[in-house]
Chain A
């Protein structure tokens, strides 16, 4: 057997071994429980659960969902919720105030929702606007990451959105982020003024499918 072949084999084993060590040591993201919304402070799931400080939301116009365990149990529980939180601030006693705030009774005006044909036209308009911004991240495609992301958001009569919530995670950060980005990029929703006189909340399932 030639020397260069033996060294080639040894090199390949070495590279392979190093790769496997890297894979097993670093397979999960350190920041996997973080979802970013452009122009806003990053959302860190574990911080929301463990350190529900109202200051976390300062400077954002986006309110976060209460812990999923209180709303609906996802069909596929997200492992990131079970991981220890990142310690960025001194531990404070949980203060229930912000959650109570989000669970406040809605303003009576908000309940006056549109219906019938007008609602259907509005749904179609919003759906198409978000569709134009749909994106399947390349890395997620390559890795065959699939899943359903459920988001809800409130559309103001001026087309801007608020209260963007991630109700159900796909279990993959990139897909969750892509779903939130699609909704954010679609605003301001043109033409909703025709249908909305007050804010209306919508819920959307976004399914990422890899057919290849």
Chain B
């Protein structure tokens, strides 16, 4: 300290001297100001998603915050539903149980699509999807959609694809209040604050409250979100502490029966849920090329209510990730996931209780290496390997205690040919796996834990052409073969579905995405997937997997006028499909449908007026259809939302 004082002391007179000198001479007379010519600001923008592209050959697509805002979507699931690459499915009667599907999954879409938030897996411990809308749209920086199998890269559940949602880094000052009102009892209030302070600390805080009756009686839903982020970006590392909490209350509507009477809602059927994902992340560069990424996350959720009987589910999860990453070529990591699930249903005297503890341990490595042969100088080889172990300790009934140890080893091998700077081709083989969750193992017709680990192999090839700020074309073909596919299944002579391993399945498909910048104001984005999801042997050989639309596509046209007008028109299509549970394909198909969405905004200085219209033509469609019991000809379905109009005012201050 004494030495420090000695160093500091001479500074004061020095600064005072020059301060006075500057005052006397006058700042404008400084030499660099006399003949100074200002050049326009030079923007240097980071390429989005660059690291992911280096490590995994894929036809992924990155939706930016600007695209999300243009869409006029009220929440994340509404935005994803507008994208043809992803199907948003609701595999239950409750409208707060939406999930995403990629590469042709139906009722088990939740288990076969991995959702990550800032690269932290957001996994539910039962067969109901984690609540999608835990993030305010303002708190999203970008959404990476990665169709395809990535078991070696991302682990359990990365079978049909992965969606990673990046939360906003507080680099810009945002103080925003949004209020909205619409038909169907819609109301919306969002407040969001984002600020980076001088000491390299940034803060995001957001709170959202919304309600909607989904155009039907007894289908009211109230949804509350609270988001927070505190981050520090240093010279060599960054740290962030995040909190994503939600609370939801949803009524269960009545259902319709094909060629039969409608069943009115029971107003007492209500699901209440709340939960939070909290995580601490750090990214520290050991050298300019090597970084150590680390995360610790806690995911808690509870749902309770009445669905013809009382029920309550509790889930809690601790996840720890560590990985050593070379920025260009290599990743080595470990992930451990400790989870607890318990449920109670029915009355105290005739109730059913279950509980399970899970420990998942993953070791993984991935790498991309340029091929060291002169004639293949523009080729990369992509490799990956993951070993995963699941230990399950469960009480499927109050009197039985059982344990199970499962292992999976998957690998990926791929080649990427960079034909030109803007054009590449890739081919890859990728393994995938899915451990049965504790809840699923107990929801079988056996008192033990009978479900096998699901394994799959995907062969994928595609081209990727990108002309920055102009056009993009991505096309990929794939064949995904799965053994022991875990799915809901209703046995003969049983009215209740159980979890089961299905016979081998095969999905053949093509994904395509085209983006055209027609001019500086108009942009067209076309996305589509075509898939043939079928059993490849066994009892249902050749039959189509139910609850999957073979074709889904969307077009989005955005127009940005110079007068601060923004117009976005979205048209999406989902083709017909067999009802959930109709493995024989003997029941009636649910009709395909088009949906038209329109969003308009006008910016006045610090205010934005918005008008979002969803299902403009008021199309009637089923949000979820299922074959009841073992009778596929009796198909019940829940209606999707009709015409929805929401006006909003956003104020920035």
Please, what's the 1-or-0 string for B154-172, where 1 marks a CB less than 8 Å from any CB in chain A? 0000000000001001010
- Do B15 and A13 have beta carbons less than 8 Å apart? no
Interface hit among A36-44, A53-61, A142-150: A142-150
A84 CB to closest chain B CB, in angstroms? Answer: 5
* B493: interface (CB < 8 Å): no
Contact status of A106 and B4, CB under 8 A, knowing A1-B393, A130-B42, A207-B43:
no
Give the residue name and chain of the B residue nearest to A143 (CB): B238
Q: Is B259 part of the contact surface with A, judged by Cβ < 8 Å? A: no
- Alpha-carbon distance between A141 and B32 when the two chains are bound, in angstroms: 32
Bound together, the chains give a CA A130 to CA B62 distance in angstroms of: 29
* Contact with A106, one of B34, B336, B338 (Cβ below 8 angstroms): B34
CB-CB < 8 A to B334: which residues of A?
Answer: 8, 11-12, 15
| Chain A residues numbered 30-56 whose CB sits less than 8 Å from any CB in chain B | 32, 49-50, 52
CB-nearest residue of chain B relative to A178? B44
Closest to B231 in A: A144
Say which residue of B3, B32, B43 sits within 8 Å of A152 (CB atoms): B32
Report Cα–Cα, A28/B62, bound state, in Å: 32
Shortest Cβ distance from A155 into B: residue: B37
B389 near A5 with CB under 8 A, answer yes
Whether A190 sits at the interface, judged by CB under 8 Å, is no
| 8 Å CB contact of B14 from A5, A94, A138 | A94
A201 in contact with B46 (CB, 8 Å) = no
Residue among A23, A113, A130, A135 making CB contact with B237, cutoff 8 Å = A23
Cross-interface CB contact of A134 among B37, B42, B64, B239, cutoff 8 Å: B42
Chain B interface category by residue count? 35 or more
| Residue of chain A at shortest CB distance from B37 | A202
Give the CA-CA distance A68 to B147 in the complex, in Å.
50
Closest to B19 in A: A70
Contact indicator B51/A142 (Cβ below 8 Å): yes
Residues of chain B lying within 8 A (CB to CB) of residue A172:
233, 235
- List of A residues within 8 angstroms of B21 by Cβ: 96, 100, 103
In the bound complex, CA of A13 to CA of B322 (Å): 10
Which B residues are CB-close (under 8 A) to A178? 44
CB <8 Å contact, B284 and A19: yes
B199 contacts across to A, CB distance below 8 A: 79
Chain A residues touching B, majority SS? mixed
Give min CB distance, A191 to chain B, whole Å: 16
Count of A-B residue pairs with CB < 8 Å = 231
* Of B22, B46, B142, B336, the contact of A70 (CB 8 Å cutoff): B22
B336 to A27, Cβ gap below 8 A?
Answer: no
Q: Fill in one digit per residue for A123-147: 1 if any B CB lies within 8 Å of its CB, else 0.
A: 1001100110011111101111110
CB-CB under 8 A from A16, the residues of chain B are 294, 296, 320, 322
CB-based nearest A residue for B338: A9
Complex CA–CA separation, A93 to B62 (angstroms):
57
Contact A131 B39 (CB under 8 A): no
Which stretch in B5-13, B90-98, B370-378 binds the other chain?
Answer: B5-13
Contact of A103 among B19, B31, B233, B389 (CB under 8 A): B31
Q: How far is the CB of B37 from chain A (nearest CB, A)?
A: 5
Interface string of B188-222 (1 = CB under 8 A from A): 00000000001110000000000000000000000
Across the two chains, which residue of chain B brings its CB closest to A32?
B235
The complex places the Cα of A141 from the Cα of B334 at a distance, in Å, of: 24
Q: How far is the CA of A11 from the CA of B335 in the complex (A)?
A: 11
Are B10 and A212 in contact (CB-based, < 8 A)?
no
B-chain residues with CB within 8 Å of residue A148 when the two chains form the complex: 41
Give per-residue flags for A1-30: 1 if the beta carbon is below 8 A from chain B beta carbons, else 0.
Answer: 110110011011101100110110011110
A114 CB, min distance to chain B CBs, angstroms: 9
Contact yes or no, A200 B359, CB < 8 A: no
Q: What are the interface flags for A193-204 relative to B under an 8 Å C-beta threshold, 1 for contact and 0 otherwise?
A: 000000011111
Max chain B C-beta neighbours (<10 A), residue from A2, A12, A102, A212:
A212
Confirm or deny: B380 has a beta carbon within 8 angstroms of a beta carbon on chain A.
Answer: no
Report whether B322 and A209 are in contact in the complex, using a CB–CB cutoff of 8 Å.
no
One of A28, A66, A71, A126 near B39 (C-beta < 8 A) = A126
Is B411 close to A, CB under 8 A?
A: no
Given contacts A69-B15, A99-B18, A103-B21, contact A207 B10 (CB under 8 A): no
Contact of B32 among A32, A94, A144, A201 (CB under 8 A): A201
**Is A91 within 8 A of B36, CB to CB?**
no
Given contacts A84-B4, A96-B17, A71 and B30 within 8 Å (CB-CB) = yes
20 contacts between A and B (CB under 8 A): A2-B391, A5-B359, A8-B361, A9-B336, A16-B320, A19-B292, A19-B322, A22-B292, A96-B21, A103-B29, A113-B37, A119-B37, A127-B39, A138-B50, A142-B327, A143-B237, A144-B238, A201-B35, A203-B32, A212-B166
Beyond A71-B30, A113-B35, A211-B64, 9 additional contacts (C-beta under 8 Å) are: A26-B236, A50-B7, A94-B10, A105-B29, A106-B34, A146-B169, A202-B38, A203-B39, A212-B166
Q: Ordered nearest first, which 10 A-B pairs have the shortest CB separation? A: A212-B48, A94-B14, A141-B46, A210-B46, A204-B39, A205-B41, A144-B169, A29-B235, A106-B31, A146-B171
